[in-house]
Amino acid sequence: MIVKLSDFLRYSISQQDTGLSDLLSEMNNTRRYLDIEQVRFGNKLKQEFDIPDNCSGIRVPTMILQPIFENAVKHGVYESTESIIIRTVCRLQNDFLNIIISNNYDPQSIPRKGAGIGLKNIRERLKLIYGSEQLIDTENKDNVFTVKMMIPLIST
């Protein structure tokens, strides 16, 4: 766990000024984070990834996904007594990389208070980088919270 934490922090620090990173690097770092949380929560945390190879090299804003996974752990796994599955699906569609991250949650658990800053910051970053406020959407339905993000395909 200490090695994964070191690698996670090293990546986070090294990416602060780069702006964009390939999806594969971002997902590898996300997996490090989830592996660390897996040590804390054991079988209560499950992970599923459906990321085709044609999505791996797409450039995305650095650390843009991290707050979504943190929210899934904080609001899904942390208070639940049941297993929580965090699913990540990526697809290329038209001129966008679509990223869908969802997690079930226990509606009986006492929700942890949050200020909504993570999703707000993501929305603002996407607006600054791509000039659109329509690139992220959330849905809360049937005890599943879903974040849908669209990353425009741009030449770099």
pLDDT at 156: 46
| β-pairing verdict for 84-93 and 59-61 | unpaired
Is the confidence at residue 96, as pLDDT, over 90? yes
pLDDT at 154: 77
Distance CA 5, CA 44 (A): 20
pLDDT at 112: 65
Distances (CA, A) of 47 to 17, 20, 123: 29, 25, 24
Phi, psi of 121 (to 5 degrees): -65, -40
| β-pairing verdict for 84-93 and 45-50 | parallel
Three-state SS string across the chain, please? CHHHHHHHHHHHHHCCCCCEEEHHHHHHHHHHHHHHHHHHHHHHEEEEEECCHHHHCCEEECCCCHHHHHHHHHHHHCCCCCCEEEEEEEEEECCEEEEEEEEECCCCCCCCCCCCHHHHHHHHHHHHHHCCCCCEEEEEECCEEEEEEEEECCCC
pLDDT at 107: 85
Rounded mean pLDDT, 84-113: 90
Rounded mean pLDDT, 131-144: 94
Residue 71 — pLDDT band, cuts 50, 70, 90? very high
Amino acid, single-letter form, for residue 19: G
More confident residue, 94 or 81: 94
pLDDT at 6: 62
Angle at 17 between CA 16 and CA 21, to 5 degrees: 80
pLDDT at 78: 84
The superfamily (CATH) of domain 2-152 is Histidine kinase-like ATPase, C-terminal domain (3.30.565.10)
CA–centroid distance for 112 within its chain: 18
The predicted model scores a pTM of 0.87
